[in-house]
Amino acid sequence: QQQVKQSPQSLIVQKGGISIINCAYENTAFDYFPWYQQFPGKGPALLIAIRPDVSEKKEGRFTISFNKSAKQFSLHIMDSQPGDSATYFCAASIGGGTSYGKLTFGQGTILTVHP
Amino acid sequence: GAVVSQHPSRVICKSGTSVKIECRSLDFQATTMFWYRQFPKQSLMLMATSNEGSKATYEQGVEKDKFLINHASLTLSTLTVTSAHPEDSSFYICSAAGDLPYTFGSGTRLTVV
């Protein structure tokens, strides 16, 4: 019940295209859903996060879409650039308010953006 | 923004020796710190959760006597890999949470030879 399933495992997109990564969860107690970007040899960096009281959040070229009834959320990267080539992880946790429970990570998606 | 400093970034040690990794929150108080392990092309695997001044809570399958965690202050947590063996070679990452949500360190590449 703690799993977060992420797809696809890898994604190749042309420069300027839209990259879409999907995640599904089972535990309805999750209340914080972040996306992280990780470059080789570095720690994950927070891209954008959403709480279940909103269905969409946009920050620059990055958008999270959240479907509470389907228990799914996705990351959309608009106008993808070669510099976006990295591994992306979705995650979920309980207690995303004043206390932060442990994060459950998806399996990761390796994104390659061709110039 | 929040910054978590992790040192060293790379360490090579001989089998049987111990290695200490430090994780510091530079501009916020981290009431909770998390330690992860990541193998190549895999996701992050949580090893343990520590709260300042308390004993760490280890995930199932993680040897607490081998991976010693100390969270003595609101800005510093350390992970000591004791009697390291080649199978302990991995990428170790800390994360801090408190006034601000999870912020990750830059990771430590441990190689045991």
Q: Using one digit for the tens of pLDDT, what is the confidence trace for A38-94? A: 999 999 999 999 999 999 999 999 999 999 999 999 999 999 999 999 999 999 998
Kindly report the average pLDDT of chain B as a whole number.
93
Q: Which residues contact B85 (CB under 8 A, 6 or more apart)?
A: B15, B16, B112
* B106 near A CB under 8 A: yes
What DSSP assignment string belongs to chain A?
A: ---EEEE-SEEEEETTS-EEEEEEE--TT--BEEEEEE-TTS--EEEEEE-TT-SEEEETTEEEEEETTTTEEEEEESS--GGG-EEEEEEEBS--SSS----EE---EEEEEE-
Q: What percentage of residues in chain A have a pLDDT greater than 90?
A: 86
Q: Could you tell me how far CA B109 lies from the centroid of its own chain?
A: 11
Residue linked to tokens 């399996």: A107
* Close Cβ partners of A78 (under 8 Å, ≥ 6 residues apart): A18, A61, A62, A63
| Distance between first and last Cα of chain B | 37
DSSP type of residue A82: G
How many Å is the Cα radius of gyration of chain A?
A: 14
* The two structure tokens encoding residue A42: 């570095």
Query: Is B73 at the interface with chain A, CB within 8 A?
Result: no
Single out the residue of B40, B25, B29 nearest to residue B95, CA to CA: B25
pLDDT above 90: percentage of residues in chain B: 76
Per residue in B58-91, pLDDT (tens digit) is 999 999 999 999 988 889 999 999 999 999 999 9
**Closest to A102 (Cβ–Cβ): which among B6, B46, B101?**
B46
| pLDDT (average), residues B34-52 | 93
DSSP state of A32: B
Determine the Cα–Cα distance for residues A34 and A92; give it in Å rounded to an integer.
7
- Tokens representing B80 are 């000591």
Q: Please tell me the predicted confidence (pLDDT) of residue A99.
A: 60
CB B30 within 8 A of CB B74: yes
- Segment among A62-76, A92-106, B17-31 with least mean pLDDT: A92-106
**Tokens encoding B48:** 């343990």
pLDDT at A94 (0 to 100): 87
B34 touches chain A (CB under 8 A): yes
Q: Which pLDDT band, with edges at 50, 70 and 90, does A96 fall under?
A: low
Distance from CA of A39 to the nearest CA of B (A): 10
Q: How far apart are CA A7 and CA A79, in angstroms?
A: 20
Is the model more confident about A81 or about A1?
A81
pLDDT of residue B16 exceeding 60, the answer is yes
> Which residues of chain B lie closer than 8 angstroms to A36, CB-CB?
104
Split at pLDDT 50, 70, 90, the class of B53 is confident
Residue pair B94/B105 in contact by the 8 Å Cβ criterion: yes
**Mean pLDDT, rounded, for B93-107:** 87
Chain B residues inside the 8 Å CB shell of A46? 101-104
Beta bridge partners of A91: A105
B44 touching A (Cβ < 8 Å):
yes
CB B32 within 8 A of CB B98: yes
**Mean pLDDT, residues B85-103:** 90
- pLDDT value at residue B112: 97
